């Protein structure tokens, strides 16, 4: 049994979905996991500690400063005990407190004190889930390697319909089993280079031409590639993102600099992913001083074409397996297939950046992936999850051709 002997700390925050947590604990125990339960004060308004004690077979912890508990399994001991901390349900308030790094009750203190993986199962009203503050908090937690499981869509206790339902207990059990399952590394030993973020094409010392790319998709791909065992080189335009663990990062500004960095190291790579939103054109001349406003109502800036990085890589005599991206606002399949054929790519991942809630500056994305003999849909998901699906597909197609 994959969960035999695994120590799982289940945390409950306040929300009607807390009634599902008793079933979650029972199902984890059925799979021979060791389960402890921690409840917030709000959670006890929805389900009693006695119920959770009955299904877990262990005392329920709810107080940060419990003299009796400190003598045995206090908050530090409990934090060290866990192999996984799973907060289900994770309310909007709890997510905010975790993102802020607060430690004002037992559950949040445990999350700061534990070396174990942290997973959250969001559960809240659909409007609360969609609020930018909640989305920012989830993005912050994801950047810290917190596992975000869910939420599901559907009817809610308040009568609304939309995202915010906690995943069902058996779905969460499946994710726990998947978390502890041995991780396949289909890219072990493979050297992989990718580009990410925007480029900036200078007009003068203070102005530049750029785009809305945040770099989130490219950095998620770099993280996923490293998790799958690849030796990753990330060539990044100017972004405000932390470098994923185990990834070598090269920072550049312009398309010309990105091209030079890629071509300098591409002969050592077996896979190349062009995820950056590279400017097609750059100003022909860059003013040495700030361009001053004149009386004229218009200004003409002459642009010159930038080098086509992905096409140049794909044209190499011993090219790596080359994957492009196509960010389109219409006719996505038409333009993506044209780019795949014209630039002689092995694969292309296309997305419609005109769709609200996905693409540039969003934490979510959806992709249609094309290769010469087929295509597949990767539906809307968080960019971290989507990156794992895409890298798994890339690994599969790479090994099919090598």
Looking at residue 72, what is its pLDDT?
46
**Beta-carbon-side half-sphere exposure of residue 71 (alpha carbons within 13 Å):** 2
Are 106 and 75 a contacting pair, CB within 8 Å? yes
Neighbours of 294 (CB within 10 A): 8
Which tokens hold the place of 64?
Answer: 């940060």
pLDDT of residue 361: 57
Active site residues: 158
Gap between the Cα atoms of 362 and 14, Å rounded: 28
d(Cα 400, Cα 102) in Å, to the nearest integer?
48
Dihedral angle over CA of 47, 51, 57, 59, nearest 10: 60
Helix or strand or coil: residue 260?
A: helix
Q: How far apart, in whole angstroms, are the C-alpha atoms of residue 309 and residue 315?
A: 10
> Which uninterrupted H or E stretch holds 258?
helix 255-265
What parts of the chain have a pLDDT lower than 70?
A: 1, 66-75, 354-362
Phi, psi of 265 (to 5 degrees): -120, 5
CA atoms within 13 A on the CB side of 356: 1
First to last CA, the chain: 35
Q: The whole model's pTM is what?
A: 0.63
Domains along the sequence of the chain with CATH: 7-180 (3.40.50.1950), 191-401 (3.40.50.10300)
Mean pLDDT of the chain: 90
| pLDDT at residue number 358 | 55
Q: Which two tokens stand for residue 200?
A: 């900036």
CB atoms within 10 A of CB 77: 13
Q: Which residue in the block uniquely carries the two structure tokens 């199962």?
A: 121
């Amino acid at each position: 049994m994959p969960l035999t002997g695994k120590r799982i700390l289940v945390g409950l925050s306040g929300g009607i979905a807390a009634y599902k947590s008793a079933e979650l604990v029972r199902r984890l125990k059925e799979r021979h996991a060791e389960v402890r339960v921690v409840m917030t004060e709000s959670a006890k308004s929805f389900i009693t500690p006695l119920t959770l004690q009955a299904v877990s077979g262990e005392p329920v912890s709810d107080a940060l400063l419990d003299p009796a508990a400190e003598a045995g399994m206090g908050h530090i001991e409990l934090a060290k005990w866990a192999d996984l901390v799973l907060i289900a349900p994770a309310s909007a308030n709890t997510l905010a407190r975790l993102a802020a790094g607060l430690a004002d009750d037992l559950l949040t203190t445990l999350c700061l004190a534990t070396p174990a993986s942290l997973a959250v199962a969001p559960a809240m009203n659909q409007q609360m889930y969609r609020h930018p503050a909640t989305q920012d908090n989830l993005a912050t937690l994801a950047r810290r390697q917190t596992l975000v499981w869910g939420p599901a869509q559907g009817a809610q206790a308040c009568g609304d319909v939309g995202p915010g339902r906690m995943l069902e207990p058996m779905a969460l059990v499946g994710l726990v089993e998947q978390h502890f399952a041995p991780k396949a590394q289909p890219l072990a030993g493979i050297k992989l280079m990718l580009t990410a973020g925007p480029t900036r094409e200078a007009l003068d010392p203070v102005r530049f031409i750029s785009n809305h790319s945040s770099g989130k998709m490219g950095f998620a791909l770099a993280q996923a590639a490293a998790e799958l065992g690849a030796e990753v080189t990330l060539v990044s335009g100017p972004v405000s993102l932390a470098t994923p663990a185990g990834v070598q990062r090269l920072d550049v500004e312009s398309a010309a600099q990105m091209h030079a960095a890629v071509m300098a190291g591409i002969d050592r790579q077996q896979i190349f992913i062009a995820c950056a939103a590279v400017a097609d054109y750059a100003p022909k001349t860059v003013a040495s001083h700030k361009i001053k406003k004149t009386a004229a109502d218009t200004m003409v800036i002459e642009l010159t074409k930038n080098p086509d990085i992905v096409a140049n890589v794909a044209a190499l005599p011993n090219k790596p397996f080359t994957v492009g991206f196509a960010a389109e606002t219409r006719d996505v399949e038409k333009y993506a297939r044209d780019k795949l054929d014209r630039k002689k790519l092995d694969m292309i991942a296309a997305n419609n950046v005109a769709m609200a809630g996905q693409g540039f500056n969003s934490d979510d994305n959806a992709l249609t992936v094309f290769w010469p003999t087929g295509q597949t849909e990767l539906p809307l998901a968080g960019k971290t999850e989507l990156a794992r699906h895409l890298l798994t597909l890339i690994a599969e197609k790479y090994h099919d051709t090598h």
